[in-house]
Amino acid sequence: MSNQQTVSCAIALGSNLGESQQNLEQAISQLNQLPEITVNEVSSWYETVPVGPAQPNYLNGCALVATSLAPHPLLDTLLRIETQFGRVRQKRWGARTLDLDLLLYEDVVLDTPRLKLPHPRMRERAFVLVPLGEIAPNWVDPVTGSAIAQLKDTIDYSGILQQL
């Protein structure tokens, strides 16, 4: 990445169709190849129970990145990568080859029709907070003022089947 000013962001990754672990690792590689993004840290992968309709278990994880992109262009980049992996949005919480969610963008709080920051449901989801807590336990959620490690202590872990 050039010497433009960068910000720290947290991204959640998930997959439950195709070769999930390969999809996630290739998505990380694609992100890291973009000149506006540097992947700084990646969590372990976790096998998790799906939320929503009956479907295969997921592999989930999180990544910390530095980027020179503003929030909406970063979201567009994530959506473009999902599409490259064959992501088709048919039903809410349906199965997918790749899901990339922008969780945190520094301490920005944003509420637009296309993007809400921090991610509005991250505080309820073990499949987000467990991997995020592994790589960013001290990151403070700008809405609650709680560190990720504290938020992680308040959730039900039963949907986390195993760490890979």
Active site (catalytic) residues: 87, 96, 99, 101
Q: Which amino acid is at 147?
A: A
- What is the rounded distance in angstroms from the CA atom of residue 31 to the CA atom of residue 21? 15
Secondary structure E strands in 16-88: 37-42, 46-48, 58-67
Q: Please name every residue paired with 97 in a beta bridge, in sequence order, or none if there are none.
A: none
- What is the rounded distance in angstroms from the CA atom of residue 77 to the CA atom of residue 143? 25
Intra-chain end-to-end CA distance of the chain, in Å: 30
Cβ atoms of 12 and 100 within 8 Å: the answer is: yes
For residue 74, give both structure tokens: 């970063």
